[in-house]
Amino acid sequence: MNLFNVIEEIEKVDPEVVDRMSPRRAAIKNITSFGSKVALAAMPMALATMFKRAYGADTPVAVNDVLNFALKLEYLESYFYNQGAAQAGLIPSNNSGYFAEIQSDENQHVAFLKSVLGSAAVDMPAFDLTAGGAFPTVLSNYDTFLAVSNVFEDTGVRAYKGQAPNLLGNKVVLGAALAIHAVEARHASVVRQIRASRGVDISAWITGSASVANDTGIGAAVDGNYKDENNVMQGGVDVTKLPSATGSSTAYNIAVEAFDEPLDMATVLTLVGPFFK
């Protein structure tokens, strides 16, 4: 199961999407990565210099691998939000400020990672948010857009978290990765809040039970993105057995909510793979 399939699932609920999508497809193709260019131009060079200084001339390959992995995810997210913002009428005006902020952050992440990687940075891949037009609701139906955004952000949080141990002790790069990680979590929180305001039964944090790890209401299509989010074993401790504010043990959902879970690089790449052409 992967994120790609979520669009198919949502399309089942909105059968008119193909009609609504078609006229817009040409417009989408003409959009360039305007946002990231602007952000790159505004990017202070001091940070890149600092990174280079931290390593001397050569950044370790393992660290570059982590940074390029992050860059690929940020390319995808920035492309997604740039495209979303470019669709007239997709994002309601009273929500546009939220997505302007998120779009700006993601483009800044791209610019930041590119500046750090320098010539080692991978190029922006070609994306297919609509899967060749087969699943086009992501850019024509706001609730679909929000659902995909929700999953992208939660998955981004998991991806950065999963890479933290590979950057152990690295003040500069781990610090930056954790700083982006926290911003992705802020995004995830607010996108979930927006979905809740539109009637979805969802909280700012990921909840669950012993049998449910995917709390998004999107369906089994994104189960993979939430696999093991309902873990309650932390460092060998079953945290449901720890005291709570109201008793000698902790409810399962609280144990799930209080800890977000990581994902490894291979799993994340498999999950987002269908969005890469």
Partner 1 sequence: MKTEEQQGLGTANMARRSFLRYAGIGAASVGLLATAACHKDHSVRLNTGVDIGSGDFGILNYAYALEQLEAAFYTQVVKTPYTGISEKEKSIMTSIRDHEVLHREFFKAALSSNAIISLTPDFSSIDFSSRTSVLGAAKAFEDLGVSAYDGAGYLITNPAYLTIAGKIVSVEARHAALIRELISPGSFAGSDVVDSMGLNQSNEIKVVLPIANTYLKTKVSASNYGYIA
Question: Contact with partner 1 (CB under 8 A): which of 25, 37, 198, 241?
Answer: 241
186 binds partner 1 (CB under 8 A): yes
Q: Is position 23 an interface residue for partner 1 (rule: CB under 8 A)?
A: no
Is the Cβ of residue 24 or residue 192 nearer to partner 1 in the bound state?
192
- The CB-of-145 to partner 1 minimum distance in angstroms stands at 18
Task: Round to whole Å and give the CA distance between 84 and 82.
Answer: 5
Residues 177 and 160 sit within 8 Å (Cβ to Cβ): yes
Q: Does 255 bind partner 1 (CB under 8 A)?
A: yes
**Which residues make Cβ contacts (< 8 Å) with residue 31, sequence separation at least 6?**
82, 83, 86
Q: Note whether 215 binds partner 1 by CB under 8 A.
A: no
And the tokens for 188? 């995830």
Q: Per CB under 8 A, does 190 bind partner 1? A: yes
Contact between 202 and partner 1 by CB under 8 A: the answer reads: no
Ranges within 143-162 binding partner 1 (CB under 8 A): 157, 160-161
Binding part of the chain for partner 1, among 8-16, 83-91, 213-221, 248-256 by CB under 8 A, reads: 248-256
C-beta atoms surrounding 3 within 10 Å: 23
Helix, strand, coil: what percent of the chain each, to 5?
A: 65, 0, 30
Helix 96-117 vs helix 45-55: crossing angle, to nearest 10: 40
Quick check: 41 binds partner 1 (CB under 8 A)?
A: no
248: phi then psi, degrees, rounded to nearest 5:
-90, -5
Near partner 1 by CB under 8 A: residue from 25, 55, 237, 273: 237
Using CA atoms, how far apart are residues 242 and 234, in angstroms rounded to an integer?
A: 11
The H-or-E segment that residue 233 falls in is strand 233-234
Residue closer to partner 1 (CB basis): 47 or 86: 47
Write out the binding residues for partner 1, residues 72-111 only, by CB under 8 A. Answer: 97-98, 101-102, 104-109, 111
**Closest separation in Å from C-beta 52 to partner 1:** 16
Instruction: Assign 228 to helix, strand or coil.
Output: coil
Alpha carbon 103 to chain centroid distance? 12
Q: In the complex with partner 1, which residue's Cβ is closer, 21 or 232?
A: 232
Burial profile 167-177: b = 16 or more Cβ within 10 angstroms, e = fewer: beebebbbebb
3-state SS, residue 196: helix
Q: Does 33 bind partner 1 (CB under 8 A)?
A: no
CB of 86 to partner 1, least distance (A): 20
- By the rule CB under 8 A, 250 interacts with partner 1: yes
Instruction: Give whichever of 5 and 108 is closer to partner 1, judged by the CB atom.
Output: 108
Give the Å distances, CA to CA, from 162 to 24, 69, 186, 268: 37, 11, 18, 10
Q: Is 204 in the site for partner 1 (CB under 8 A)?
A: yes
Binding site for partner 1 (CB under 8 A): 42-44, 47, 97-98, 101-102, 104-109, 111-112, 157, 160-161, 164-165, 168-171, 174-176, 178-190, 193, 203-205, 233-239, 241-245, 250-251, 254-255, 257-262
